[in-house]
């Protein structure tokens, strides 16, 4: 239940940040995919079911903010979330640079899946420009790495504080 | 849940979404579409977008107020001059309008009734990414699917998804959108669509008279948009490979600065005419 609430809060934050970003910087949605950042961060936990469900929910939310067919991002993010979680079961991604790489590749895969779906389903589809695919992959990778680093530092800081406090208690 | 079950769940979820996508695809190609799942998610997410948009606009308003405080008197005088000019223009147009009415009466020509306009706030606008869209707050009176959306500068698009208080708009720059349009100077008709290089006016034969700078307006033949709404201006004229010109348009509307738009009351084609 707590996990579900935590995820709901994270998705809500992503929606708010996405809308805020687009309101302030018109190119925001073109440059970065915060919904995918959320999917990647959850999928990096290594549970394929979590990756699948988070990808589905985040992707469908993203679809509301895009034109064209509904469930395009839902499909792509589900696939990426599940695939990444399976990959993480086989790889150890401990460094922030690894997270950047994984999130960047996930973003590129997601955009290729989106383009493939659009090509398959629409008669005269519009496709993203290759340069924007690279920019978006880099930005999404950087955002995922930054969030991971920040959360790791926060966790480490909290652990150190707890340790100091327990040492003080022992001394007393 | 074990791995096998998760894999089956993945297959089911992907198949379900693929089915949903393929059901929508023909409707999207034909320019329509409205689905329950999208409405449900839009219903939950649109109020959040509205909240953020209100906060951002409030912040911008405060900043603008602060900036404008210094030159209020000067701006007031300029606005007063503009009001005087516009009053003269209104007088001139009123006399023209009554003249048109008199002539129409003499010719027994009945003008199409004027459509009511309703203001709607833009709560989310993404016009830059390749899947561009607009979400509007329409208030208590719901919008209607296919309702034309315009701004002071011209045509914006049409409503494609409606939930209480909110509506999603397909912009004319969307790949799936098509608008019946004509060159204002010559009344030559074609179809405005979005191509790789932006808006294009298709199906204009090469013997037609077209120039760079020609204004393009709606022709009113598509059953959605009324006649004479500005769509854009011709920016490039080239002879195409077939019988038609390759015409590029600059949209009349700057989609990047939309904060309020207008919903035109729908005027559907009578059922017996369809």
Banded model confidence at residue B224, pLDDT cuts 50, 70, 90? confident
Strand pairing partners for B232?
B216, B251
pLDDT of B190 above 80: yes
Specify the pLDDT at position A138: 95
Q: Give the closest of A20, A27, A70 to B52, CB-based.
A: A20
ipTM computed for the complex: 0.84
Specify the pLDDT at position A32: 92
Contact B208, B188 (CB under 8 A): yes
pLDDT of B269 above 70: no
Task: Provide the chain A residues 109-148 that lie in CB contact (below 8 A) with chain B.
Answer: 117, 121-129, 132
CA–CA distance, B173 with B129 (Å, rounded to integer): 11
Specify the pLDDT at position B80: 92
Specify the pLDDT at position B32: 54
Map residue B170 onto helix, strand or coil.
strand
Which range, of A31-45, A119-133, B206-220, B238-252, averages the lowest pLDDT?
A: A119-133
Is residue B188 exposed (0-12), middle (13-18) or buried (19+ Cβ within 10 Å)? buried
Mean pLDDT along residues A9-19: 93
Specify the pLDDT at position B9: 94
Q: What is the DSSP string of chain A?
A: -HHHHHHHHHHHHHHHHHHHHHHH-TTHHHH--HHHHHHHHHHTT--HHHHHHHHHHHHHHHHHTSSS-TTHHHHHHHHHHHHHHHHHHHS---SHHHHHHHHHHHHHHHHHHHHHHHHHH-SS-----HHHHHHHHHHHHHHHHHHHHHHHHHHHHHHHHHHHHHHHHHH-
pLDDT of B31 above 80: no
- Quick check: B174 and A52 CB within 8 A? no
Q: How far is B19 from chain A (nearest CA, A)?
A: 10
Task: Tell me what the pLDDT averaged over chain A comes to.
Answer: 89
Specify the pLDDT at position B25: 75
Banded model confidence at residue B200, pLDDT cuts 50, 70, 90? very high
Question: Who wins on pLDDT, B34 or B127?
Answer: B127
Q: Are strands B260-264 and B117-126 parallel, antiparallel or unpaired?
A: antiparallel
Partners of A80 on chain B (C-beta within 8 Å) are none
Contact B160, B168 (CB under 8 A): yes
- Quick check: B126 and A61 CB within 8 A? no
Specify the pLDDT at position B112: 58
Mean pLDDT along residues B229-257: 89
Task: Provide the chain B residues 196-215 that lie in CB contact (below 8 A) with chain A.
Answer: 196
Strand pairing partners for A141?
none
Specify the pLDDT at position B270: 63
Banded model confidence at residue A166, pLDDT cuts 50, 70, 90? confident
Specify the pLDDT at position B74: 84
Instruction: Enumerate domains of chain A plus CATH numbers.
Output: 2-171 (1.10.1760)
Which range, of A5-19, A50-64, A90-104, averages the lowest pLDDT?
A: A90-104
H or E element at residue B21: helix B3-29
């Amino acid at each position: 239940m707590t996990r579900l609430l935590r995820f709901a809060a994270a998705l809500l934050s992503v929606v708010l940040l996405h809308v805020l970003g687009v309101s302030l910087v018109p190119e925001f949605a073109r440059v970065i995919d915060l919904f995918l950042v959320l999917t990647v961060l959850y999928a990096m936990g290594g549970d394929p079911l979590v990756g699948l469900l988070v990808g589905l929910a985040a992707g469908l939310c993203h679809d509301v903010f895009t034109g064209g067919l509904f469930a395009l991002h839902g499909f792509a993010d589900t696939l990426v979330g599940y695939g990444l979680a399976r990959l993480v079961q086989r790889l150890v991604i401990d460094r922030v640079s690894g997270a950047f790489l994984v999130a960047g590749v996930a973003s590129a895969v997601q955009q290729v899946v989106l383009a493939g779906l659009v090509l398959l389903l629409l008669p005269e589809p519009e496709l993203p420009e290759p340069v924007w695919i690279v920019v978006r992959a880099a930005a999404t990778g950087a955002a995922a790495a930054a969030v991971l680093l920040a959360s790791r530092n926060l966790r480490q800081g909290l652990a150190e504080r707890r340790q100091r406090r327990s040492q003080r208690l022992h001394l007393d | 849940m074990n791995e096998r079950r998760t894999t089956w769940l993945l297959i089911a979820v992907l198949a379900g979404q693929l089915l949903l996508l393929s059901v929508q695809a023909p409707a999207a190609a034909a320019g329509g579409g409205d689905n329950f799942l999208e409405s449900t998610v839009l219903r939950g997410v649109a109020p959040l977008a509205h909240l953020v948009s209100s906060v951002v606009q409030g912040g911008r308003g405060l900043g603008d107020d602060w900036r404008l405080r210094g030159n209020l008197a000067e701006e007031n005088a300029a606005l007063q001059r503009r009001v005087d000019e516009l009053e003269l223009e209104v007088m001139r147009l009123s006399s023209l309008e009554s003249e048109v009415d008199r002539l129409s009466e003499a010719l027994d020509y009945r003008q199409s009734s004027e459509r009511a306009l309703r203001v709607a706030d833009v709560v989310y606008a993404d016009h830059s990414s390749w899947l561009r869209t607009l979400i509007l707050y329409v208030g208590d009176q719901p919008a209607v699917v296919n309702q034309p959306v315009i701004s002071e500068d011209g045509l914006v698009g049409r409503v494609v998804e409606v939930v209480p208080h909110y509506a999603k708009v397909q912009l004319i720059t969307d790949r799936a959108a098509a608008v019946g349009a004509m060159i204002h100077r010559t009344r030559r008709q074609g179809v405005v669509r979005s191509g790789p290089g932006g808006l294009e006016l298709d199906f204009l034969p090469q013997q037609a008279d077209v120039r760079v700078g020609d204004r393009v307006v709606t022709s009113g033949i598509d059953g959605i948009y009324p006649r004479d709404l500005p769509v854009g201006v011709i920016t490039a004229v080239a002879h195409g490979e077939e019988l038609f010109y390759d015409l590029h348009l600059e949209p009349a509307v700057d989609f990047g600065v939309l904060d309020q738009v207008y919903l035109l009351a729908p005027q559907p084609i009578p059922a017996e005419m369809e």
